[in-house]
Amino acid sequence: MNKLEFNFDEDSFNKLFPFYILIDSNLKIKSFGKSLAKTLPGIKLNDTFSSTFEVKRPFVENPDFDSLTAIFDQLIVISTTSNAIDLRGQFQQFNDSILFVGSPWFVSMNQVRERKLTLHDFAFHDPLLDLLHVLKTQEITTQELKELLFKINNQKKDLKRDQEELNRLSLVARANENGVVFTKPDGVIFWCNDAYLKLTGFSIEEVIGATPVELGKCEYTNKEDLKKMIVPFLNGEMFDVELVHGRKDGSYFWTKTKGQPVLDSTGNVVQYFAMIEDITEKKNADFKLIESEDRLSFLIRNLQTGIILEDENKRLLLVNKKLCSMFDFEVEPDALIGSDFSGSVEDSKRFFKNPDIYAERLNNIFKENKAVYNEELELIDGRFFERSYVPIFRDGIYKGNLRSYVDITIKKKHEEILQNEKEKYSNIIANMNLGLIEVDQNDRITLVNHSFCEISGYTVSELIGKKASNLFLNEENIQLIETKNKLRVQGVTDSYEVQIKNKKGEKRYWLISGAPNYDVNGKIMGSIGVHLDITEQKEQEEKLYLLSLIAEKNLNSVVISDKEGRIEWVNSSFEKMSGYTKEELIGMKPGYLLQGATTNPETINYLKNQISKGQPFNCEILNYSKSGEKYWVKIQGQALYNTRGEIVRYFAIEENVTNKKLLENQREELVVSLAKTNKELEDYAQIVSHDLKSPLRSIHSLISWIKSDNDKEFSDLTLSYFSMIENKVEKMDYLIDGILTYSKIDKEELPQESINTHQIIQSIINIIYIPEHISITIKNQLPMLQADRYRIQQLFQNIIGNAVNYIEEEVGLVEVASEEFEDYYVFSIKDNGVGIAKEHHQKIFNTFQSYTKSEHSTGLGLAIVKKIIDAYNGKIWVDSELGKGSTFFIKLNK
């Protein structure tokens, strides 16, 4: 037979593969399907394959002809570089070219409609549309599940109670002849079957509310047997005990009482189930074992729970149809009776997701031989089972075990879906700080959540039953709510803003999303509203509006950049300073436009580092305007963060400091010049003081020699003249020392140390000359200061020395005291000297100002004091009158 060949023209081939791509050896696109062109309108012939597509799976980084040839006959996923669409298919050899045939990868019908595709745009054999329809159906189902979420949550408790009731009915609906009771954890009976009433002779009213011990204990009941039941019960464990049970008429019967706890999902006991079997005949004769086994076997075979019963040698005694179907046994249950199940653990572990863990756990259960209830197991096919294990003992000897398996897959999936939905919506509401409220058709509150209580200021008890509109709204807003409630009756859902008053009387703004609230029958029973307090947002909007006005009108330049540093907004001052327009600046990085050749690189690096770390920046930098003109700006800026602590923008305020910079340069030059002049003056003062003191010392020495050599030849008048000359020379020496001291005070850097002013003044009292008629007292403990010891001693020694020199009273007094304030101390030096006229109170602190006739005065002592106090940013003043003494006050900072 000749080789069969097919020849297609381009239209025919397009019908089969409407999304094909033909690529030549240079990876140029030579042809493509019409549907692909419709989906990607930008694709053109002779475009390179890599300019439009990339190979995602298997990933090919830089595709060429050889790399594409290497992945022939594989499932390929390619995507467009614009992420518009993914294509799945295969690469095939076509003559000297490469042919890709495939179909788009859509995940919803919405994507198909968005690209304006129809059924005719797909190959007839392409199952994608069918799959998308299935997904759409599933989306609709999911939406319906979400709409039922509220009803399901409300019915959850009822469903749980009904499930518990069904569980009880499933245990007792087997024509059980034994008595069955259910008790609360404290032992109080809340349900029993008719068999129990028949066995005991009590009525249902007498049983409900009593305990099994109260009903069954009689004079023949053994205390030890009773203890075997009570102790496990109190410990939340199962029990199996034989004991005597009393009847209402005073008679008794033997019972085999089995009890076991019913646990919730957290392992807590919620109730107890007990079966009371009359074994009186067993005690008197052999128990009809075969009859009981047949009855039990019948019950097990018809259970919807998978049951397997083994003897002590792992031989199968019983298995039901349900278990066979659950584990895919292809034989009838009876055919398995007597089989050796010692290898069942290894055989069955293949069904489970964690086979080794399953096998290890089941082997441990066999080894421990303790009852296990409702252990959850996950199968490899996605199913979930609950496994229970009950060991069987006879007279304390292990006789086998009973295992049960319940398929809980549907229940598990529903619980998972419900839990996921519940957590998702609970988290959304919690994170958005939303207040939830439900009102009936009369606007009375029936339910609120914690967030609503927080934003309203009311407690739950203060809200329930109250009319919502009366609590929060004024007359205008009450009418708005009444209108909204009418819409709810019509089934309308909407959102709106309203101004309210909270419990404190504060005005707040709420954004409310309201919807009708339905009961389980689908009837509207009121409204449900989700509330968001937007007061801060409203205030923020107003602030932002004001800030935008301020920023726009600011004389300084303002610039806002995105987190990448690109300009988003500038004010008109920035445009004027830089010479660029907003259109030229938006999207640019400031440094690229404004920095130039003479801009300091260290400053540029500083800005980059601060911005990269999200830290504030403050510096001066040389920029260039659009015209190339240099100008200095002072930049202050920082990052802006969102509520999650993430940087979203940067802002900076820039001030043109070009003129200021020029002044600073001039000032620096002036400072250098002044420093040089001061140094020259200081050196000059040292030279002058030395040159002046040298002849003074010579004059003083010559006068002393002349007086010594001519002591008997000079008259008293001549000697007095010589003494006057000596005094003037000494005064001149004091004056030179004072001038030097005064000139050095603000030229030296004052050291800072902790000094005791009390000790310093005490030392001054011991050093200076104090006439016998004058006493100096310190009234209180003087404080510690941070200052230079020498200058502080110089300060107080001048003032105390002046006080001593100018006292003419027969009994002279000088008092030193201090008073402490929050940030400073005030010292006072009080004397009863000659006093100072009020018109001289300010002048006495000037240099060479002396208003006394004392020969010791140089006119510099108080000027030196004033200069020292000024160096410490302090203050000095005097309170004095002529003839009434003086008090000098000194304020020094702590």
For 383-424, write each residue's pLDDT tens digit: 999 999 999 998 889 999 999 999 999 888 887 887 777 677
Q: Is the pLDDT of residue 142 over 70?
A: no
**What average pLDDT score do residues 143-160 get?**
65
Q: Is the pLDDT of residue 672 over 90?
A: no
Which pair of tokens denotes residue 554? Answer: 């600011």
Instruction: Tell me which amino acid residue 723 is.
Output: S
Q: Specify the number of domains making up the chain.
A: 6
651 and 667 part of one domain:
no
Nearest to 46 by CA among 30, 33, 34: 30
Dihedral angle at the C-alpha atoms of 54, 56, 60, 62, nearest 10 degrees? 20
- Identify which has the larger pLDDT, 151 or 823: 823
State the pairing for strand pair 524-533/875-880: unpaired
Which pair of tokens denotes residue 206? Answer: 């007498």
Model confidence at 625, pLDDT cuts 50, 70, 90, reads: very high
Q: Is the pLDDT of residue 3 over 50?
A: yes
Compute the distance between CA of residue 688 and CA of residue 694 in angstroms, rounded to an integer: 10
Model confidence at 1, pLDDT cuts 50, 70, 90, reads: very low
Sign of CA dihedral 28, 34, 40, 43: positive
Please check whether residue 838 is in contact with residue 881, taking contact to mean a CB–CB distance below 8 angstroms. Answer: yes
Nearest to 272 by CA among 245, 233, 305, 240: 233
Q: Identify the residue whose tokens are 């190979």.
A: 55
Please say which residue of 685, 708, 737 terminates a domain: 737
- Identify which has the larger pLDDT, 827 or 558: 827
Chain Cα centroid distance, residue 689: 72
Q: Is the pLDDT of residue 169 over 60?
A: no
pLDDT of 807-862, one tens digit each? 988 899 999 999 999 999 999 999 999 998 888 887 788 754 554 555 555 567 78
pLDDT of 80-110, one tens digit each? 877 678 888 898 888 889 988 988 877 667 7
Compute the distance between CA of residue 278 and CA of residue 256 in angstroms, rounded to an integer: 7
Backbone angles phi, psi at 190, to 5 degrees: -120, -5
- Identify which has the larger pLDDT, 145 or 255: 255
Per DSSP (E only), the strands in 81-205 are: 86-94, 97-104, 179-183, 189-192
Bond into 58 cis (ω within 30) = yes
Quote the pLDDT of residue 747.
53
Q: Which stretch of 297-306, 607-616, 866-875 has the lowest confidence by average pLDDT? A: 297-306
Which pair of tokens denotes residue 744? Answer: 């050095």
Compute the distance between CA of residue 594 and CA of residue 605 in angstroms, rounded to an integer: 15
Instruction: Tell me which amino acid residue 246 is.
Output: G
Strand partners, 94: 97
Q: Which stretch of 197-211, 217-231, 847-861 has the lowest confidence by average pLDDT? A: 847-861
Nearest to 603 by CA among 614, 585, 615, 617: 617
Q: Is 811 left (phi over 0), alpha (psi -120 to 50) or beta?
A: beta
Q: Crossing angle for the helix pair 861-871 and 716-744, nearest 10 degrees?
A: 10
Q: Across all residues in the chain, what is the average pLDDT? A: 82
Compute the distance between CA of residue 393 and CA of residue 399 in angstroms, rounded to an integer: 5
Compute the distance between CA of residue 398 and CA of residue 379 in angstroms, rounded to an integer: 30
**What average pLDDT score do residues 514-526 get?**
83
Residues comprising the chain, all counted: 894
Compute the distance between CA of residue 528 and CA of residue 75 in angstroms, rounded to an integer: 51
760 and 731 part of one domain:
no
Q: Crossing angle for the helix pair 789-805 and 861-871, nearest 10 degrees?
A: 150
Domain-embedded: residue 424:
no
Residue 231 vs residues 29, 209, 227, 254, 410: alpha-carbon distances, Å: 84, 21, 6, 20, 38
Quote the pLDDT of residue 689.
55
Quote the pLDDT of residue 849.
54
Domain-embedded: residue 147:
no
State the pairing for strand pair 269-278/179-183: antiparallel
Q: Is the pLDDT of residue 513 over 50?
A: yes
Q: Using alpha carbons only, what angle is made at residue 794 by residues 789 and 800, rounded to the nearest 5 degrees?
A: 120
Q: What is the CATH number of the domain that holds 807?
A: 3.30.565.10
Quote the pLDDT of residue 484.
85
Give the Cβ contact number of residue 401 at 10 Å. Answer: 21
Q: Identify the residue whose tokens are 């140029």.
A: 28
- Identify which has the larger pLDDT, 121 or 794: 794
Residues 6+ apart with CB under 8 A from 376: 384, 385, 386, 387, 408
Residue 136 vs residues 130, 140, 146, 765: alpha-carbon distances, Å: 10, 6, 15, 103
Share of the chain above pLDDT 70, in %: 81
Strand partners, 653: 558, 636
Quote the pLDDT of residue 720.
78
Q: Using alpha carbons only, what angle is made at residue 527 by residues 523 and 529, rounded to the nearest 5 degrees?
A: 145
What three-state secondary structure class fits 447?
strand
Residue 170 vs residues 125, 240, 305, 411, 822: alpha-carbon distances, Å: 51, 21, 10, 17, 85
Q: Is the pLDDT of residue 521 over 90?
A: no
Compute the distance between CA of residue 488 and CA of residue 524 in angstroms, rounded to an integer: 8
**What average pLDDT score do residues 749-759 get?**
84
Quote the pLDDT of residue 715.
75
626 and 762 part of one domain:
no
Q: Is the pLDDT of residue 173 over 50?
A: no
689 and 792 part of one domain:
no
What three-state secondary structure class fits 222?
coil
Most confident of 119-128, 644-653, 684-693, 807-816: 807-816
Please check whether residue 33 is in contact with residue 21, taking contact to mean a CB–CB distance below 8 angstroms. Answer: yes
Quote the pLDDT of residue 692.
61
Instruction: Tell me which amino acid residue 161 is.
Output: R
pLDDT of 718-747, one tens digit each? 777 777 777 766 666 665 665 666 566 655
649 and 705 part of one domain:
no
Burial environment of residue 577 by CB neighbours within 10 A (0 to 12, 13 to 18, 19 or more): buried
Q: Identify the residue whose tokens are 């597509």.
A: 53
Q: Is the pLDDT of residue 496 over 70?
A: yes
Domain-embedded: residue 514:
yes
Q: Identify the residue whose tokens are 């390179």.
A: 48
Model confidence at 631, pLDDT cuts 50, 70, 90, reads: very high
Burial environment of residue 631 by CB neighbours within 10 A (0 to 12, 13 to 18, 19 or more): middle
What three-state secondary structure class fits 520?
coil
373 and 229 part of one domain:
yes
Compute the distance between CA of residue 198 and CA of residue 192 in angstroms, rounded to an integer: 11
What three-state secondary structure class fits 200?
helix
884 and 823 part of one domain:
yes
Give the Cβ contact number of residue 49 at 10 Å. Answer: 22
Please check whether residue 594 is in contact with residue 628, taking contact to mean a CB–CB distance below 8 angstroms. Answer: no
Nearest to 86 by CA among 54, 59, 43, 60: 54
Domain-embedded: residue 582:
yes
What is the residue range of 444's domain? Answer: 432-538
Quote the pLDDT of residue 325.
87
Q: Is the pLDDT of residue 371 over 80?
A: yes
Quote the pLDDT of residue 148.
63
Express the helix, strand and coil content of the chain in percent, nearest 5 each.
45, 25, 30
835 and 686 part of one domain:
no
Domain-embedded: residue 144:
no
Most confident of 160-169, 422-431, 532-541: 532-541
Provide the 8-state DSSP code for 121.
Answer: G
Domain-embedded: residue 851:
yes
503 and 619 part of one domain:
no
Nearest to 23 by CA among 59, 85, 76: 76
Q: What is the CATH number of the domain that holds 30?
A: 3.30.450.260
Quote the pLDDT of residue 451.
86
List of long-range contacts for 724-731, beta carbons under 8 Å, 24+ apart: 725/699, 726/700, 727/855, 729/696, 729/699, 729/700, 729/703, 730/700, 731/855, 731/856, 731/858
70 and 190 part of one domain:
no
Domain-embedded: residue 279:
yes
Nearest to 196 by CA among 260, 241, 257, 271: 257
Q: Is the pLDDT of residue 756 over 50?
A: yes
622 and 770 part of one domain:
no
Compute the distance between CA of residue 783 and CA of residue 757 in angstroms, rounded to an integer: 6
Q: What is the CATH number of the domain that holds 273?
A: 3.30.450.20
**What average pLDDT score do residues 162-184 get?**
68
245 and 392 part of one domain:
yes
Q: How many helices (H) and strands (E) does the chain have?
A: 31, 33
Domain-embedded: residue 612:
yes
Please say which residue of 538, 572, 589 terminates a domain: 538
Please say which residue of 656, 680, 702 terminates a domain: 656
**What average pLDDT score do residues 31-59 get?**
86
Backbone angles phi, psi at 827, to 5 degrees: -95, 150
